[in-house]
Structure 1
Amino acid sequence: MAAESATRSAFTTSAPGFSPAELEALLSERYGLAGRVTMLTSERDLTARVNAETGERFVLKLANAAEDPAVGEFQNRALQHVARTAPDVPASRLVPTLDGAAEFFAERDGERHFTRLLTYLPGRPLFGAPPTPERMRAIGTALGRLARGLADFRHPASEHEIVWDLRHSPKLAAFTPHIEDAVLRGRVEAIFERFRETIAPLQDGFRRQVVHNDFNPFNLLIDSEDGASITGILDFGDMVETPTVYDLAVAAAYQVAEDGPPLRFVRDLVAAYHAVAPIEPEEADRLLDLIATRHAMTITIAEWRAARYPENAAYIRRNQARAKLAVERFAALDREAARAELREACGFA
């Protein structure tokens, strides 16, 4: 996981370099589909929207060549599992190739890229929609249903190491020098240290399962009419087996209020999740620090990666402003009162 080492990883290897024309040829050859491809922004993989001549729409995803193919298979098997166990969860479905395969390898310049085609989900991005109690409850409910759907899913690659897994967050302390703001850097380092001292010793005892691990507003679609119902859950690329409550903390991290009580939206999200997929008192007690840890990770990873890939810096830093503000707001919180607030959201005394 060392960021500056020579070890090849999907975080230090450029995304696949296929052109739209090459992708359209792949679609014709493998799926018998004719249509127009539009590239979508992605951090380490290649993602494209497909408008087929039939009027159907799809999403084509090609993994980074450095990605272990077993990880792509893990993600595909998880999607198939959710389709069977939780059909009400609005996740994409895999589209089989002409020969019935769920995935294949696309080759270019001597590299092999794990490739799959997914159904397109309706709705508009949650990002940019103002937070409301209704939206928070919808997010918490959707995440809880997904967690329940994945609760009994297992795969040999589920415990692969990924930089976005909160379990490994203390390792990121080595990369905080990339944060230029000294005050912010100090706060981020303190968050990592608190995790190392107070959470890491406990995490082997937390409940674990495969989780989405990136329930952020860019990865959620809402109903275009009611503006609240979740109609799409996107991007299972950070999925991993980790303590279950870490998934809830990731989702909550994106809902820290910019003004007023910092946890007013988080509280609604947590309550809705707990109603569907109950958490335990010890997990609720750690939520505050887990949310802060996700923000510290967002800031550290983005600054490190933006330095490596300045041409993609705007996308890499897309969550920076919110994460920085949340760290500042958390620094001023009464920690005991905040923990009590999150316990109360779950109905714990």
Structure 2
Amino acid sequence: MASTAHQEAASALGAELKTSATTVLADQAEQIAREKYGFVGRAEWLWGEKDSNYRLTLDNGSEYLLKILNPAENPAMTSMHSQALLHVEAADPGIPIQRIIRTLDGEADFRMTDDEGATRGVRMVTFVPGKSQKSQPHSAIQRYRIGALLGRMQKALQGFTHEAAHHRITWDMSHAAGLRDLLSIFGDEAQRRRLEAAMTDFESLILPRITQLPAQVIHNDFNMENILVREENPDAISGIIDFGDMVHAPVLFDVAVGAAYQMGDAADPVEAMCDFLKGYATEKPLSDQELELIYPAIVTRMLMRLAIQEWQAKLFPEHKERYTRNSPTVWAQFARLDALPKDDTIARLAAACRTSVERPA
């Protein structure tokens, strides 16, 4: 059993990450599809960190994603995610996102009661084709296009409002300081000190200025597994998925999240992030204040990836390998970043954000 101190530290994790996914049986998913959508097909379970997800394949080969949400998710949040998808589709139809499939009654989502008596939201969307960016070759033009796509996404979401937009979620960088107590889980002293240093930078550089930063509803999870590319042409972006971490927060944090993930395994992580930021700059500029904070914001996201996933692995040890599967990559990114002069890195990132150039060849 975890110590009292560890239990208190774990309170930094929101309910959405402390409730494991409760699987709904495939035959029940197929029944939901028939009764609520009029679709007859075969349901195939897909891994979900919080939700019970199914690929629904109809007899004619059409595919849809049926998402049966975590019982801990507030109904207002379910509504926000659905309405955001509809809003982006209307604002910029060219952004390759999942499309809402309405129920026979015209609902964008609905509530169900599962076999354990828990009430859960349900949403069906189109199944976006493609392979995750993480699984495919990476290139400068690919990263550039992803950066530009994030800029378009932010512009499409500028006018979006919802009653649940200011909800608190663990992955919102605005609340990263609450994760400091989680760092005690890291037994390696050098690793713990590196994360503590990143936390100190967040607390001293970003936290005092959060209210001054431009904010809106953001995607907040523009990572390589949520970006789909065409298998036959990985430089072509075919889809953006998973609006589940959406929140009203500084735009800078959305950019930092995207840049942090675009490092991947690149030998020069700064160059990889610059590719992304140059694409983003073609759609939206960052202010001078945002440029000053882009580097510590990127490092804060890296800190969050390690701390949150390590604690989830502690809460759900049966899924430890899945939760921490990306941790070695993040530590390697830290090592490569720390081997470069920090001032030079900050200058290169800022220059990329200010550069208006032709896209990479």
Q: Normalising TM by the smaller chain, what interval?
A: over 0.9
Q: Which has the higher mean CA deviation after the structures are superposed, 331-340 or 27-36? A: 331-340
1:97-156 per-position Cα deviation (integer Å, ceiling 9, x unaligned):
111111111211110111000011112221122321111111101111111100111111
Equivalent in the alignment of 1:31: 37
Query: Residue 208 of structure 1 contacts residue 244 of structure 1 at CA under 8 Å; is this kept in 2?
Result: yes
Q: Conserved in 2, the CA contact under 8 Å of 1:206 and 1:283?
A: yes
Distance 1:81 1:190 in 2: 39
Per the TM alignment, residue 259 of structure 1 is displaced from its structure 2 partner at its CA by: 5.1
Amino acid in structure 1 at the alignment position of 2:20: S
Alignment of 1:57-76 (within 5 A): 57-76=63-82
**From 137, 161, 168, the counterpart of 2:168:** 161
Whether the aligned pair in 1 keeps the contact of 2:14 and 2:169 (CA below 8 Å) is no
The one-letter amino acid of 1:332's match is A
- Equivalent of 1:281, from 280, 283, 288? 288
- Structure 2 residue 315 is matched with structure 1 residue 308: yes
**Residue of structure 2 equivalent to 1:115:** 122
Structure 1 residues 6 and 269: CA distance shift in structure 2, 3 A: closer
How far apart in 2 are the matches of 1:283 and 1:218? 26
Q: Cα–Cα, structure 1 residues 304 and 214, in superposed 2: closer, same or farther, change >3 Å?
A: same
1:124–1:223 contact (8 Å) kept in structure 2: yes
Separation in structure 2 between the aligned mates of residue 127 and residue 6 of structure 1, nearest angstrom: 29
Does 2:16 correspond to 1:10? yes
State the Cα distance separating 1:315 from its structure 2 match.
Answer: 2.0
SS at match of 2:310: helix
Please report how far the alpha carbon of residue 5 of structure 1 lies from its aligned counterpart in structure 2 after TM superposition: 4.5
- Report the Cα distance in structure 2 between the residues aligned to 1:6 and 1:285, rounded to whole angstroms: 27
**What secondary structure is seen at the aligned counterpart in 1 of 2:328?**
helix
Q: Tell me the distance in 2 between the aligned counterparts of 1:5 and 1:81.
A: 33
The reply on whether 1:246 has 2:258 as its aligned counterpart is no
Q: Name segments (4+ residues, structure 1) moved above 4 Å.
A: 5-8
Matched residues in 1 for 2:267 and 2:15: separation?
41
Residues 11 and 272 (structure 1), Cα distance of their counterparts in 2 relative to 1, 3 Å cut: same
Task: Give the number of aligned pairs.
Answer: 349
TM-score by structure 2 length? Answer: 0.93
Alignment-derived partner of residue 231 in structure 1: 238
CA distance in structure 1 between the aligned counterparts of 2:72 and 2:322, rounded to whole angstroms: 20
Q: Which moved more, 1:19-28 or 1:317-326?
A: 317-326
Q: Is the 8 A contact 1:3 1:12 kept in 2?
A: no
Q: Which residue of 2 aligns with 1:85?
A: 91
Shift of the 139–6 alpha-carbon distance from structure 1 to 2, 3 Å rule, reads closer
In structure 2, do the counterparts of structure 1 residues 8 and 169 end up closer, same or farther at CA, with 3 Å as the change threshold? closer
Equivalent residue number for residue 298 of structure 2: 291
Which is worse superposed, 70-79 or 305-314?
A: 305-314
Alignment partners' CA distance in 2, 1:133 and 1:102: 37
Name the counterpart of 1:142.
149
The one-letter code sitting in structure 2 at the alignment partner of 1:228 is D
Q: Give 1:183's match in structure 2, choosing from 180, 190, 193.
A: 190
How far apart are 1:282 and its partner, in Å?
1.7
Q: Who is 2:178 aligned against?
A: 171
Is the contact between residue 264 and residue 329 of structure 2 (CA under 8 Å) also seen in structure 1? Answer: no
Instruction: Determine the C-alpha separation between the residues in 2 that align with 1:30 and 1:180.
Output: 50
With 146-155 and 121-130 compared, the bigger mean Cα shift is at 121-130
Q: Is the 8 A contact 1:41 1:315 kept in 2?
A: no
CA-CA distance at 1:7 after TM superposition: 9.5
**TM-score normalised by structure 1 residue count:** 0.96
Which of residues 191, 201, 204 is equivalent to 2:211?
204
Q: Is the 8 A contact 1:8 1:66 kept in 2?
A: no
- Note if contact 1:16-1:62 (Cα within 8 Å) is conserved in structure 2: no
Q: Residue 225 of structure 2 aligns to a residue in which SS?
A: helix
- Tell me if structure 2 keeps the 8 A contact 1:253–1:295: yes
Q: Specify the code of the residue in structure 1 equivalent to 2:68.
A: L
Q: SS at the partner of 2:238? A: strand
Write the deviation string for residues 83-106 of structure 1: whole angstroms up to 9, x where unpaired.
110101101111011111111112
| Structure 2 unaligned residues grouped into runs of 5+ | 1-6, 356-361
**Pair 1:128-2:135 in alignment:** yes
Tell me how large the CA RMSD over aligned residues is.
Answer: 1.9
1:313-332, aligned counterparts within 5 Å? 313-332=320-339
Paired position in structure 1 for 2:340: 333
Q: CA deviation at 1:323?
A: 1.2
Moved more, 95-104 or 314-323: 314-323
Q: Tell me, which stretches of 5 or more residues in structure 1 are unaligned?
A: none
Contact (CA 8 Å) 2:270, 2:337: kept in 1 or not?
no
